[in-house]
């Protein structure tokens, strides 16, 4: 199992209402999981827990057979650097780094991903360009441009290349397509699938766009699974 | 380290504000070290306003007062030295040379100093530099005057111009020696010392303009013309002070004691170097104030950096979330901002020093000719290194404020990107 969640209860502050209460959630290796749920239902919070940025006071979150709550915060940051690629909804790129530097960024924080990247290509920049080429971003002119001048779709592909850099086992994408139009949305997801298949990575994909659902192996409706969700929101989730 | 190269690239990306911050730090460093260097050199140059002279002798008084009127032409002597005593001490076997000084008259606010040719031979300032006649020559005729550089420049005098000397320090019409005008025979090169503000005439000339004067006023009914005075015996009856050069410095204290215990009249002999540093201690408070002010300018420069970094943080919260998502620890975020503060401070120090040396190279000749202060271009002194180190430490302390804030923000935000 890549992700195993048991009896998880999470609140942002002690005494605050529960945001998440999940009894059991498992994601197998190579699986492509679609998580849907209305806004505020705790999707991003769940991803924070899986990527070890926050930990829950009760329950267990195991990623790649490692119980994250047993690790100290520094170890968890290391763990994330080594094993997880993360894609945000938009504005994924560091404005003062070039396209290639943005893609190689994880290798600055993880020796493991650096080694993985170097086992594929002769240097990090070459590996970054290889990934960009796979994602249809191989025009050298694009690499030279300031990242802030790229279109949203192009930025998301650079972000995907960064998440894939150094072959992490788990790819997490938090609504990465919500700023894209329908056509680009699907081709972006296909590219992501291809790359995950090629590297054997597991994909956890969050969106409230139910039309993407059929593309994935499995769907998780957070509103249904999350026992902490207020009824009003849970109801919205069904609609 | 990887995070430093990120800091560098981030600064390059915001190069306009970064440059402004850098300039303000650099300028403040230039000012701080410049003031420090100037004040050290001003002290050194002040201490060598008069060099090569072993003793200054005047009527009995405190050393600072004697120094003030004999060297700086400030204030007046309480008493004179009789010509006989002067002759007697000048003949002392350990004495190599003497330069008599007779003060009391003025010309349009500048003091008139009566002396002999020995003045031009033995007067030394700075590091053993002697007086140089820029135009014309020393006084040859009885009514010749040699002007200091500033006197000639301020009053626009040239060789051959006539000047009227007035009795006392104030130039009022009834006290003018207008019956005996002087002619400018020479103008001295600039020294940056009180010599520049002095009108030099011969001792005999001082005697000549006073032949028909007594107790500071004309003797009623007595009028001796300039030409008549030439024929008279113009040996001075008294002088104000004199400079002494000894054959050997070892005898300094022996001769000093001899003069201080001189039986014929009460005299004081002082060591110029000691008296000069006593005087500097009196006026050195201003110099410290200047250094403190420039230290505050550095603080202001660093606060500019603080403001620039703090205001940038809000728009950088997304950047921090991205960094956290690729595995950066909050500590890395701290290091990133600290790196920027460190780079700005270090570059500010380096370019501030570069600017200082550039302005020293350009300003050195001007400062030397205007103020007589020669500022050497040597590397930083130990004290300057301490100042530079203090600026660096202050920069790091100031930088830790936005760094800590960024650390707290990235800890609280995690991966949620807020704007
Ligand atoms: N860093 C945080 N500190 C405190 N509360 C937070 C934080 N992040 C999210 N929350 C709260 O937790 C709840 C769940 O938010 P979350 O961002 O997980 O929802 P979401 O399902 O991702 O919504 P959306 O679809 O709008 O992104 C919300 O009530 C939100 O206000
Ligand atoms: Mg969300």
CATH number for the domain that contains residue A218: 3.40.50.300
Is A88 an interface residue toward B (CB < 8 Å)?
yes
Are B327 and A110 inside 8 Å of each other by CB?
Answer: yes
Q: Is A93 on the interface with B (CB under 8 A)?
A: yes
Q: Which of B59, B83, B99 is nearest to B242 (CA)?
A: B99
Contact B415 A96 (CB under 8 A): no
| Ligand number, closest to the Cα atom of A40 | 1
**Which residue in A has a C-alpha nearest to residue B1's C-alpha?**
A108
In the block, tokens 């609609």 appear at A239
> From the candidates A76, A78, A80, which should be mutated to test the interface with B, based on the most B CB atoms within 10 A?
A80
CA of A19 to the centre of ligand 1 (A): 8
Angle at A147 between CA A185 and CA A98, to 5 degrees: 125
**How far, in Å, CA of A209 to CA of A213, rounded?**
8
Residue contact B326–A77, C-beta within 8 A: no
Q: What ipTM was reported for this prediction?
A: 0.87
CA distance B291 to chain A (A): 39
Cβ–Cβ below 8 Å for A108 and B6: yes
Q: How far is the CA of B96 from the centre of ligand 1 (A)?
A: 95
| Tokens 């060297």 belong to residue | B71
DSSP-derived 3-state class of residue B106 = strand
Q: How far is the CA of A39 from the centre of ligand 2 (A)?
A: 7
Phi, psi of B320 (to 5 degrees): -65, -40
Which residues of chain A lie closer than 8 angstroms to B3, CB-CB? 108
Rounded to a whole number, what is the distance in angstroms from the first to the last CA of chain A? 31
CB–CB contact A51 B319 (8 Å): no
Q: What pTM, to 2 d.p., does this model score?
A: 0.75
Query: Would you say residue A218 lies in a domain?
Result: yes
The reported pLDDT for the residue numbered A238 is 40
Among protein residues, the one whose CA lies closest to atom 31 of ligand 1? A40
CA of A59 to nearest chain B CA: how many angstroms apart?
20
Of B9, B318, B327, the CB nearest to A78: B327
Please give the pLDDT value at position A1: 87
Does the Cβ of A41 fall within 6 Å of ligand 1?
A: yes
A171 located within any domain: yes
Distances (CA, A) of B217 to A101, B76, B168, B172, B210: 92, 18, 10, 12, 9
Res A237: pLDDT: 41
Low-confidence ranges of chain A (pLDDT < 50): 233-239
pLDDT of residue B232: 83
Rounded distance from Cα B22 to ligand 2 centre (Å): 39
**Alpha-carbon distance B410 to nearest alpha carbon in chain A (angstroms):** 10
Whether residue A82 lies inside any domain: the answer is yes
Q: Is residue A140 part of a domain?
A: yes
Measured distance CA(B140)–CA(B353) in Å, rounded:
51
Distance from A26 to chain B by nearest Cα, in Å?
22
In a domain, A64, yes or no: yes
Spacing, Cα A106 to ligand 1 middle (Å):
25
Evaluate whether residue A239 is within a structural domain: no
Nearest ligand, CA of residue A36?
Answer: 1
Cα distance between residue B334 and residue B341, in whole Å: 11
pLDDT reported for residue B187: 95
- For A16, the domain range is 3-234
CB B151 within 8 A of CB B110: yes
Mutation probe of ligand 1 site: the residue of A45, A51, A54 with most atoms within 8 A of C-beta: A45
- Chain A residues in contact with B331 (beta carbon < 8 A): 74
Provide the mean pLDDT of chain A.
86
* Chain A residues touching residue B14 (CB < 8 angstroms): 96
pLDDT value, residue B173: 61
Is A45 a pocket residue for ligand 1 (Cβ < 6 Å)?
yes
Residue A42, pLDDT score? 87
Distance from CA of A215 to the nearest CA of B (A): 26
Size of interface A-B (CB pairs under 8 A): 70
Q: Are B267 and B259 in contact (CB under 8 A)?
A: yes
Protein residue closest via CA to atom 18 of ligand 1:
A42
Q: Are B225 and B178 contacting, i.e. CB atoms less than 8 angstroms apart?
A: no
Nearest CA to ligand 1 atom 3: A12
Q: Which chain A residue shows the shortest CA-CA distance from B419?
A: A91
- Interface contact A12, partner B, CB < 8 A: no
Quote the ligand 2 centre to A233 CA distance (angstroms): 14
> A115 CB near a chain B CB, below 8 Å?
no
Task: List, as one string, the DSSP characters of B324-362.
Answer: HHTT--HHHHHHHHHHHHHHHHHHHHHHHHHHHHHHHHH
- Residue B238's Cβ-side half-sphere holds a number of Cα atoms within 13 Å equal to 12
Give the total number of structural domains in chain A: 1
Measured in angstroms, how far is the CA atom of residue A81 from the centroid of ligand 1? 23
pLDDT (tens digit, 0 to 9) for every residue of chain B, 419 residues total?
578 888 999 988 888 989 999 999 999 999 999 988 888 888 877 777 888 899 999 999 888 899 988 988 888 888 899 999 999 999 999 999 999 999 988 898 899 999 999 999 999 987 788 899 999 998 889 899 999 999 999 999 999 999 999 887 676 666 788 788 999 999 999 888 889 999 999 999 998 888 877 766 777 777 778 788 888 888 898 999 999 999 998 999 999 999 999 998 999 999 998 888 888 888 778 888 888 888 898 999 898 889 888 888 888 888 888 898 888 888 999 999 999 999 999 999 999 999 999 999 998 888 777 776 777 788 888 999 999 999 999 999 999 999 999 998 888 777 776 65
* The pLDDT value given to residue B59: 92
Q: Which of A209, A236, A210 is nearest to A223 (CA)?
A: A236
> Residue A41: nearest ligand to its CA?
1
């Amino acid at each position: 199992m890549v992700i195993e969640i048991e009896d998880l209860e999470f609140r942002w502050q002690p005494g605050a209402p529960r945001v998440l209460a999940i009894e059991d959630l498992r994601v197998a290796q190579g699986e492509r999981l679609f998580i849907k749920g209305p806004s505020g239902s705790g999707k991003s919070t769940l991803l924070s827990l899986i990527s070890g940025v926050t930990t829950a006071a009760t329950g267990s979150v195991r990623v790649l057979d490692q119980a994250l709550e047993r690790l100290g915060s520094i170890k968890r940051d290391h763990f994330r650097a080594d094993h997880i690629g993360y894609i945000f909804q938009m504005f994924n790129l560091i404005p003062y780094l070039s396209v290639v530097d943005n893609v190689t960024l994880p290798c600055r924080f993880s020796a493991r991903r650096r080694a993985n990247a170097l086992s594929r290509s002769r240097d990090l920049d070459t590996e970054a360009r290889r990934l960009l080429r796979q994602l249809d971003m191989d025009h050298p002119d694009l690499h030279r441009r300031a990242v802030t001048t790229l279109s949203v779709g192009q930025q998301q592909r650079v972000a995907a290349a960064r998440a894939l850099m150094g072959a992490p086992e788990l790819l997490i994408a938090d609504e990465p397509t919500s700023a894209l139009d329908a056509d680009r949305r699907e081709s972006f997801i296909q590219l992501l699938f291809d790359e995950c298949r090629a590297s054997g990575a597991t994909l956890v994909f969050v969106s409230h766009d139910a039309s993407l659902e059929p593309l994935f192996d499995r769907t998780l409706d957070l509103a249904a699974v999350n026992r902490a969700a207020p009824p009003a929101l849970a109801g919205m989730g069904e609609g | 380290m990887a995070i430093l190269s990120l800091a560098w690239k981030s600064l390059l990306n915001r190069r306009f504000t970064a440059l402004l911050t850098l300039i303000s730090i650099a300028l403040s460093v230039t000012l701080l070290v410049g003031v420090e260097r100037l004040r050290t050199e001003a002290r050194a140059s002040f201490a060598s306003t008069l060099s090569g002279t072993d003793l200054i002798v005047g009527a009995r008084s405190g050393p600072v007062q004697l120094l003030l009127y004999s060297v700086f032409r400030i204030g007046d002597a309480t008493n004179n030295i009789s010509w006989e005593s002067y002759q007697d001490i000048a003949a002392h076997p350990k004495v190599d040379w003497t330069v008599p000084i007779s003060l009391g008259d003025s010309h349009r606010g500048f003091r008139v100093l009566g002396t002999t040719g020995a003045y031009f031979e033995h007067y030394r300032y700075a590091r053993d530099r002697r007086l140089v006649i820029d135009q014309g020559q020393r006084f040859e005729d009885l009514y010749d005057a040699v002007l200091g550089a500033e006197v000639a420049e301020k009053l626009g005098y040239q060789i051959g111009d006539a000047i009227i000397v007035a009795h006392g320090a104030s130039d009022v019409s009834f006290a003018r020696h207008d019956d005996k005008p002087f002619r400018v025979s020479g103008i001295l090169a600039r020294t940056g010392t009180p010599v520049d503000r002095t009108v030099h005439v011969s001792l005999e000339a001082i005697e000549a303009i006073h032949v028909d004067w007594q107790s500071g006023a004309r003797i009623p009914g007595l009028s001796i013309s300039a030409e008549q005075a030439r024929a008279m015996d113009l040996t001075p009856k008294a002088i104000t002070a004199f400079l002494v050069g000894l054959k050997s410095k070892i005898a300094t204290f022996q001769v000093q004691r001899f003069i201080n215990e001189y039986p014929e009249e009460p005299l004081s002999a002082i060591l110029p170097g000691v008296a000069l540093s006593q005087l500097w201690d009196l006026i050195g408070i201003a110099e410290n104030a200047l250094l403190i002010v420039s230290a505050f300018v550095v603080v202001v420069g660093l606060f500019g950096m603080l403001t620039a970094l703090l205001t940038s943080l809000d728009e950088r919260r997304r950047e921090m979330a991205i960094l956290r998502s690729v595995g950066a620890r909050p500590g890395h975020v701290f290091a990133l901002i600290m790196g920027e503060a460190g780079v700005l401070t270090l570059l500010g120090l380096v370019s501030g020093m570069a600017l200082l040396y550039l302005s020293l190279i350009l300003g050195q000749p001007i400062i030397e000719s205007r103020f007589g202060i020669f500022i050497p271009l040597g590397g930083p002194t130990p004290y300057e290194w301490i100042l530079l180190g203090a600026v660096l430490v202050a920069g790091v302390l100031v930088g830790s404020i936005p760094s800590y804030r960024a650390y707290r923000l990235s800890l609280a935000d995690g991966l949620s990107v807020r704007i």
